[in-house]
């Protein structure tokens, strides 16, 4: 059964020459517990899509089409959204940042403190509760943002390039954490990424968007043995085969390049 169903979603923004189309006719269905990745070139409307799902489009944006929400997504905090820009508040400690969503919904101080401390501990951030964001590494800041996104135990977790700015090693650690989280919680994940390999490694289904205005140009089910570790998967023959095919779809030029080299 679908948790979320998007039908012919179109979004336009006001521009200098009138409205311009950022997304066109996007269809998307997500089952509960699924891990879906969206890839597409810069500016194709990935952040716009997540903004529409989170109800956070800026004034002036126009939306057409339909978004069906399952009842489970109607409770407060059911959608966790990790934005592309780092939105930790610099004047708040790690603990106070993580508590913020609970505070905004008026949970008593003791309850929110306990929940926040538990989550920080679970994500390897114990000992940094009193630190300020500028005192943390990029990887730790992303981890704090992730904890803040997860604190409400969301049904659907939308992540906008969460690991984009991190070095390869930190990225691998956090990819492994995302995967573990998904496996342990059965939450539903929608991951936007530039990184094709990341999409294939983590997602069960990869959706490819075209350049602006973003449309769904392809959808792939990824069949990989998910019991294997990420490094093992990354070096497997199936993985190379799948990423190669997707890569060609994203950049048709690479096909002719390969031909001329081969
Ligand atoms: N608030 C806004 N007002 C006007 N135009 C916008 C606004 N936000 C985004 N756009 C435009 O809409 C298009 C899609 O932007 P969006 O940020 O969704 O792309 P994206 O796929 O997330 O790109 P990236 O991979 O670089 O993050 C771009 O052309 C962008 O300039
Ligand atoms: Mg974006």
| Lowest-confidence pick of 21-35, 70-84, 182-196 | 70-84
The pLDDT of 15-27, averaged and rounded, is 92
The average pLDDT across 6-16 equals 95
Residue nearest to atom 4 of ligand 1 (CA): 13
Axis-axis angle for helices 94-104, 138-150 (nearest 10): 20
> Could you tell me the two tokens for 77?
């905090």
pLDDT for the residue 190: 97
pLDDT band at 191 (very low <50, low <70, confident <90, very high): very high
Q: Is 187 in the pocket of ligand 1 (CB under 6 A)?
A: no
Q: What percent of the chain has pLDDT over 70?
A: 96
Query: Which ligand approaches the C-alpha of residue 45 most closely?
Result: 1
* Lowest mean pLDDT segment, chosen from 61-70, 110-119, 159-168: 159-168
Give the number of whichever ligand sits closest to the CA of residue 209.
1
What is the phi-psi region of residue 229: left when phi exceeds 0, alpha when psi lies from -120 to 50, beta otherwise?
beta
- Burial code (b: 16+ CB inside 10 Å, e: under 16) for 55-77 equals eebeeebeeebeeebbeebeeee
Which tokens sit at 60? 């002036």
**Ligand 1 lined by 212 (C-beta under 6 Å):** yes
Q: Which ligand is nearest to the CA of 61?
A: 1
Partner residues linked to 35 by β-bridges: 189
pLDDT tens-digit series, residues 208-232 = 998 889 999 989 999 998 888 999 9
Integer Cα distance of 93 and 134 in angstroms: 10
Q: Determine the average pLDDT of the residues in 82-108.
A: 93
Residue 261 has pLDDT above 80, yes or no: no
Residue 150 CB burial class (10 angstroms; 0-12, 13-18, ≥19) = buried
Q: Collect all residues with Cβ–Cβ distance below 8 Å to 170 and sequence separation of at least 6.
A: 137, 138, 139, 163
Q: What is the pTM of this model?
A: 0.92
Phi, psi of 140 (to 5 degrees): -70, -40
Which residue has the least CA distance to atom 29 on ligand 1? 43
C-beta 124 within 6 A of ligand 1:
no
- Domain range list for the chain: 2-261
**Does 28 score more than 90 pLDDT?**
yes
Under DSSP, the state recorded for 106 is: T
Q: What is the pLDDT of residue 253?
A: 57
Question: Domain spanning 2-261: which superfamily?
Answer: P-loop containing nucleotide triphosphate hydrolases (3.40.50.300)
Residues 6+ apart with CB under 8 A from 21: 10, 11, 12, 212, 213
| 166 token code pair | 């991190």
pLDDT at 135: 97
pLDDT per position as a tens digit, 126-171: 999 999 999 999 889 999 999 999 998 899 999 999 998 888 888 8
Mutate to test the pocket of ligand 1, among 15, 26, 45 (most ligand atoms within 8 A of CB): 45
The best mutation among 46, 59, 61 to test binding of ligand 1, ranked by most ligand atoms within 8 Å of the C-beta, falls on: 46
148 Cβ below 6 A of ligand 1:
no
pLDDT for 259: 63
> Looking at the DSSP assignment, which residues form a beta bridge with residue 205?
36, 221
Tell me the residues surrounding ligand 2 (ion) with CB < 5 Å: 46-47, 84
Q: How confident is the model at residue 1 (pLDDT cuts 50, 70, 90)?
A: confident
Residue 130 confidence (pLDDT): 97
- Nearest residue (by CA) to ligand 1, atom 14, is 45
pLDDT given for residue 68 in this prediction: 94
Residue 193: band (very low, low, confident or very high) from pLDDT cuts 50, 70, 90: very high
The pLDDT assigned to 169 comes to 87
pLDDT given at position 258: 61
């Amino acid at each position: 059964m679908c948790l979320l169903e998007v039908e012919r979603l179109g979004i336009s923004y006001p521009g200098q020459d009138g409205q311009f189309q950022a997304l066109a006719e996007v269809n998307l269905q997500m089952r509960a517990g699924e891990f879906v990745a969206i890839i597409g070139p810069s500016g194709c409307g990935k952040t716009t899509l997540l903004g529409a799902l989170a109800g956070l489009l800026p004034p002036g944006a126009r939306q057409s089409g339909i978004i069906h929400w399952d009842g489970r997504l109607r409770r407060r905090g059911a959608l966790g959204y990790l934005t592309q820009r780092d939105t930790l508040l610099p004047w708040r400690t790690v603990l106070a940042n993580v508590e913020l969503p609970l505070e905004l919904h008026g949970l008593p101080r003791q309850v929110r403190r306990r929940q926040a401390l538990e989550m920080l501990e679970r994500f390897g951030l114990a000992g940094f509760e009193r630190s300020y964001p500028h005192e943390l590494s990029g990887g730790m800041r992303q981890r704090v943002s992730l904890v803040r996104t997860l604190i409400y135990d969301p049904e659907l977790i939308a992540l906008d390039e969460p690991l984009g700015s991190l070095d390869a090693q930190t990225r691998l650690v956090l990819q492994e954490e995302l995967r573990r989280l998904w496996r342990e919680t059965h939450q539903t994940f929608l991951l936007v990424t530039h990184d094709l390999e990341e999409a294939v490694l983590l997602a069960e289904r990869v959706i490819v968007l075209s350049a602006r205005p973003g449309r769904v140009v392809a959808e792939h089910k990824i069949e990989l043995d998910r019991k294997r570790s990420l490094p093992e998967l990354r070096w497997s023959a199936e993985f190379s085969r799948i990423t190669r095919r997707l890569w060609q779809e994203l950049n048709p030029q690479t096909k002719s390049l390969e031909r001329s080299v081969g």
